Structure 1
Amino acid sequence: MTRADRTRFATRRRGDLFDSLLGLLLDEGFAHLGVADLAARLRCSKSTLYTLADSKEQLVIKTVTHFFRTATDHVEASVAQESGARERVITYLVAVGDALAPASERFMADLHAFGPTRELYERNTAAAAHRVQQLISEGVAAGDFRDIDAAFAADLAASMMSRIQRREVATATGLDDASAYRQLASILTTGIIAGPA
């Protein structure tokens, strides 16, 4: 095996380990699990996990970062397949909801309770709101959406996205994050689509 092959194998192994760890955290949360618990569940050694990060906290942060990065890639790949503005906004918001769908209540509770992961979620929510604004602006420019203030429509979406992120929508309506994003997509795009009122 060449050095390049070993490097590719090690990189793929790390990615696979992060994926497995992410699956575990999404299912069970992370606050109650120590590194020994994680290693046992993943059938690897603690030293293997410590090659990914220096502490459990760093391991969680890196895994949640991996989650959001992978989710963003999938969301953007879905949007790239759409041509119409309405479809792009719907696809974007539904894909965000789909990306959050595997997250258990326990994972979401742990994510919000731990400052660094809560900050990652807040940052990703802000980036998603900015992306929605871009998509709406493109739709207005193309004539697919009514001549609305794209910044206002995006701010409206961002407000709801922040409420979803803070679990306020779940508390008020019982909707999980994924369902709430789907509802937002439907309501938002119906309200701004060009055509007869």
Structure 2
Amino acid sequence: MAAPTPVRRGAARHSELFDALVELLLTEGFAHLTLDDVAARLRCSKRTLYTLAGSKEQLVRAAVVRFFARATERVEAAVAACATPADRVAAYLRAVAAELAPASARFVDDMAAFPPAAEVYARNTAAAARRVGELIGEGVAAGDFRDVPVSFAAEMVTATMVAIQQRRIAGATGLADAEAYEALATLLLHGLARDPATPARPSAGCRS
């Protein structure tokens, strides 16, 4: 078997560094960290960091983009493993909660205070809200949810998700973002549930 080329080894090293950077920022936040601090934590040189991005600001934004991209992949995988609309909505919101769970309060606060990172979070929140709206629409069309106005349900979800992203929910309730998404999942699913007098389709659950 041929040995990996230097290009492939370099790409793998960059990927490992980015993953380690994301983990570091999730745990410690980033506003207080200098590039020297980051290099020391990742056990690499500042020169190596500059191969990833040209400045600390660019490095942070790239790490936040990577965090949400990887999270989106895992969330959609959780949805794909479910058979019914109710299971898919629950899986989506609870997978979002699980992805946000490792994020420290310091990281989330730093994102909110750093416009390039806040923009990435806002963009992903908007995309997530649209996705939940799609899933609700599928459930209503299939007869698995109440015949609620899909646009209203989607707008309600969007408003709540934006409030979570903007830290208004945390400020008002003390809930972490992951906890708020879990609460949203519970409230939404109970609100969408069919009338108990109307037989519901059996749930096939999610594939493990």
TM-score w.r.t. the length of structure 1 is 0.96
Residue of structure 1 in register with 2:202 after alignment? none
Cα distance change of structure 1 residues 149 and 3 upon mapping to structure 2, 3 Å threshold: farther
Residue of structure 1 in register with 2:20 after alignment? 20
Shift of 1:174: 1.1
Let me know the Cα RMSD of the aligned residues: 1.5
SS at match of 1:51: helix
Shift of 1:3: 8.6
Shift of 1:9: 2.3
Shift of 1:181: 0.2
- Whichever residue aligns with residue 146 of structure 1, its letter is R
Q: Work out the CA distance in 2 between the residues paired with 1:149 and 1:4.
A: 55
SS at match of 2:194: coil
Residue 77 (str. 1) matches residue 77 (str. 2): yes
Shift of 1:142: 1.0
TM-score w.r.t. the length of structure 2 is 0.91
Shift of 1:12: 1.8
Residue 105 (str. 1) matches residue 98 (str. 2): no
- Note the residue ranges of structure 2 that are not aligned, 5 or more in a row: 198-208
For residues 131-190 of structure 1, what are the alpha-carbon distances to aligned partners after superposition, in whole Å with 9 as ceiling and x for unaligned?
000000111111111111111101101111111111111111111100110010010011
Bigger proportion of residues as helix = 1
Shift of 1:5: 3.5
Q: Work out the CA distance in 2 between the residues paired with 1:155 and 1:3.
A: 53
Percent of aligned pairs with the same amino acid: 55
- Whichever residue aligns with residue 178 of structure 2, its letter is A
Residue 155 (str. 1) matches residue 155 (str. 2): yes
Q: Work out the CA distance in 1 between the residues paired with 2:65 and 2:50.
A: 17
Residue of structure 1 in register with 2:144 after alignment? 144
For residues 71-101 of structure 1, what are the alpha-carbon distances to aligned partners after superposition, in whole Å with 9 as ceiling and x for unaligned?
0001001111001111100110011111111
